[in-house]
Chain A
Amino acid sequence: MAKLLEINNLHTYFETKRGLIKAVNGVSLSIEEGHTLGVVGESGSGKSQTAMSILKLFEKNQKIYDGEIKFQGKVISNYNAKEMSKVRGNDISMIFQEPMTSLNPIFTVNRQISEVLMLHQGMSKKEAEQHSIEMLKAVKIANPEQVNKSYPFQLSGGMRQRVMIAMALACKPKLLIADEPTTALDVTIQAQILYLMNELKREMGTSIMFITHDLGVINQMADDVAVMYCGQVVETAPVDKIFQDSEHIHPYTEGLLTSIPRLNTDRSSKLEVIPGAVPHPLNLPKGCKFAPRCKYATAECRENEPELKEVSPGHAIRCFHPVKRGKQ
């Protein structure tokens, strides 16, 4: 299948007074057309910054130091601001974690959706308004005409996230980046939004980069998975391999999987956790970044940094000693 997006050895750093923060430190991953890539990792693992790098939504002290991002065969990582703004919202769009604050409080829903349509599709105000109502229908909002005229403060969190999705998909983008879109919502609304996203993906053929720290959501949404740690991808594989039938697995992924609480575990037993904390980005360990927290780490791990190596077709692990399944 054709690759829609390819990230090769991406480095995105923040320049701060105390030194360079290597938020994205050599990320390579790819998204296939019509697929959903789930990106999973702890807070500070660089998953959001990888997403921001794709759209170049940077802070002033942040930039790409190395690597490239290819979208539909074109290198977009060296686009200038003007070229980039033609991609944003049109070919690649994004939804965010905070539906409560991600919409402009003083503009109507109509104005915020129409804006994208008028900008990228050259629609007139009237056409854009019509299309905006249609988009609200597509995201299953019951009274689209009324919501279209509303201000964000008149809508609930779930409704606002639906509006965000409608806005993001208005120009039928090839890729939708969803940065923890359901984290701030309660579980029933979360299930509805996930269901909606899956349905729209099937209808419109949009690829999705789904960022989350919730492996349960990954299992439900993703075709492929990329596990991130300290600004690097430590494992990529099709979703089934990670959850069931791969022969080997990265120790960090193993840790994430065993720390999912299950309904059938003994109530007296403690929840598994990965010991320690993510190292400070200004003080990264030498060698494998996960070694200080890894129960399988050897002297080699603490000295040298492993490469992301393919262990079976479509499945790559950044580890000298991948864990054999069943050993857990």
Chain B
Amino acid sequence: MIKYSIKRILSLIPVIFAISIVLFSLTKIMPGDPVSMMIPTSAKPEQIPQLREEITKQLGLDKSLPEQYVAWIGNVAQGELGFSSWKNDDVKNVIANPLKNTVILNFFVLIFSLTISITAGIRSAVKKNSFVDQFWQVFSLICMSVPTFFIGLCLVFVFALRLGWLPSNGMPVDGSGLGEWVRFLVLPVITLTITSLASTVRYVRNAMLDALSQDYIRTARSKGLSEKVVVYSHAFRNALIPIVTVVIAQIGTLFGGSMITESVFVWDGMGSTLLTALNRRDFYLVIAMNMFYAVVYLISNFIADLTYALVDPRIKLD
């Protein structure tokens, strides 16, 4: 397994290079130009051409595309992700805070959505067609069909505007305590949990139903094992493979964040940062964030493959 891991990690390097070239070129042909955004509004009309030239040079945009790429990738290799034209700061510093906020938000989402979907999915499968099962079926159907922002707005309407229990959006100010964080987290966490629950409950239920209908479950019962052992040990272990796939896919959003929900709740996370970066044509910020997503997805796929091998002895890695 160690040999496999090393091989896999080494094979990621050319993939990351390829992605970086594609991303760099795609972001470059994006219409709009960061230079005009950086010219201060106080500048007099006759100063503008000169300013424009200076800023273009300063950003290195006067060079050819391959030259720009080589310069950029060289910096990236040294840990310099570039300069954000929007924040006038290093990309690293610009991303640090949103990344932290997104991870905090999605960490809770992941925990809640997994515990609820696994328990509810197993119960639904064990008591197929019961009230519990039908409740979750209808719930997930509705929540998959309704757009996320609408769920978010409904929650804001009820809990912030009508009842006034929670803030409608925003972030706790610096240095606020745990209670303040919780107050601001509740609504976005619920919104995102509901959306991710909707599909995972179905996955878990179907994986469990499939496992429970297998012959070895009948064997396990014929051995006198209690229903608990049959369901949680014999069936669930077999249902884990499809479940692992969904869970790993969610690790991507743990770091990636959600543009829509973060915008609805004005949460200073990765999703809303990327959205602003795109609007501001903040080239290096956009490309750094997209590269970051790409790497996160590559790594989570790799973790998924390792997990399959741990869960299922029939899968051999070499």
Interface residues in chain A, defined as those with a beta carbon under 8 Å from any beta carbon in chain B: 55, 57, 60, 81, 85-90, 93-94, 96, 98, 101-108, 115-116, 119-120, 151, 153, 164, 167
Contacts and interface: CB of A to CB of B under 8 A. Distances in A.
Given A116-B224, A119-B225, A104 B218 contact: no
A115 B215 contact: no
Contact of A101 (B214, B223, B226): B214
B176 interface: no
Given A101-B215, A101-B216, A89 B314 contact: no
Contacts of B314: 105-106, 151, 153
A89 B314 CA distance: 27
B225 A115 contact: yes
Contacts of A88: 221-224
B224 A120 contact: yes
B304 to A, nearest CB: 17
| Residue of B218, B224, B226, B237 contacting most chain A CB atoms (<10 Å) | B224
Interface of B: 128, 214-216, 218-227, 234, 237-238, 311-314
A57 B222 CA distance: 7
Given A106-B311, A151-B313, A151-B314, A96 B215 contact: yes
A104 B234 contact: yes
22 contacts: A81-B227, A86-B224, A88-B224, A89-B223, A90-B224, A93-B223, A96-B219, A102-B215, A102-B216, A102-B218, A103-B216, A104-B220, A104-B234, A105-B312, A106-B237, A106-B313, A108-B313, A115-B223, A119-B223, A120-B224, A151-B313, A153-B313
B215 A106 contact: no
B224 A96 contact: no
Given A57-B218, A101-B214, A101-B215, A106 B224 contact: no
Contacts of B225: 85, 89, 115, 119
Given A106-B311, A106-B313, A167 B223 contact: yes
Nearest to A99: B215
Contacts of B311: 106
A104 B216 contact: yes
A172 B216 CA distance: 21
Main secondary structure of the interface of B (DSSP, over half): helix
A105 B216 contact: yes
B215 A98 contact: yes
A102 B222 CA distance: 11
Nearest to B223: A89
Contacts of A120: 224
Given A101-B215, A103-B216, A106-B237, A89 B313 contact: no
A96 B238 CA distance: 20
Contacts of A87: 224
A103 B223 CA distance: 12
A85 B219 contact: no
A252 B89 CA distance: 91
A55 B234 contact: no
A93 B312 CA distance: 28
Contacts of B312: 105-106
B120 to A, nearest CB: 19
B89 to A, nearest CB: 51
- 4 tightest A-B CB contacts, nearest first: A88-B224, A89-B224, A89-B223, A101-B215
A86 B223 CA distance: 9
A119 B166 CA distance: 52
A129 to B, nearest CB: 17
Contact of B222 (A60, A86, A89): A89
Interface centre among B214, B220, B238 (most CB of A within 10 A): B220
A23 to B, nearest CB: 16
B226 A104 contact: no
A85 B226 contact: yes
A245 to B, nearest CB: 37
Contacts of B215: 96, 98, 101-102
Nearest to B314: A153
A103 to B, nearest CB: 6
Given A151-B313, A151-B314, A153-B314, A103 B224 contact: no
A96 B218 contact: yes
Contacts of A86: 224
A105 B222 contact: no
A164 B220 CA distance: 11
Given A151-B313, A151-B314, A153-B314, A104 B224 contact: no
Contacts of A104: 216, 219-220, 234, 237-238
Contacts of B219: 96, 102-104, 164
Given A106-B311, A151-B313, 5 more contacts: A89-B223, A102-B216, A116-B224, A151-B314, A153-B314
A276 B18 CA distance: 68
A94 B220 CA distance: 10
A88 B229 CA distance: 14
Contacts of A153: 313-314
B162 to A, nearest CB: 44
Contact of A85 (B218, B224, B237, B313): B224
A90 B223 CA distance: 7
A81 B230 CA distance: 13
A54 B225 CA distance: 16
A113 to B, nearest CB: 10
A145 B11 CA distance: 39
B23 to A, nearest CB: 40
Q: Which of A87, A106, A164 has the most chain B CB within a 10 Å cutoff?
A: A106
A179 B225 CA distance: 20
A55 B311 CA distance: 31
B223 A116 contact: yes
B218 A105 contact: no
B312 to A, nearest CB: 6
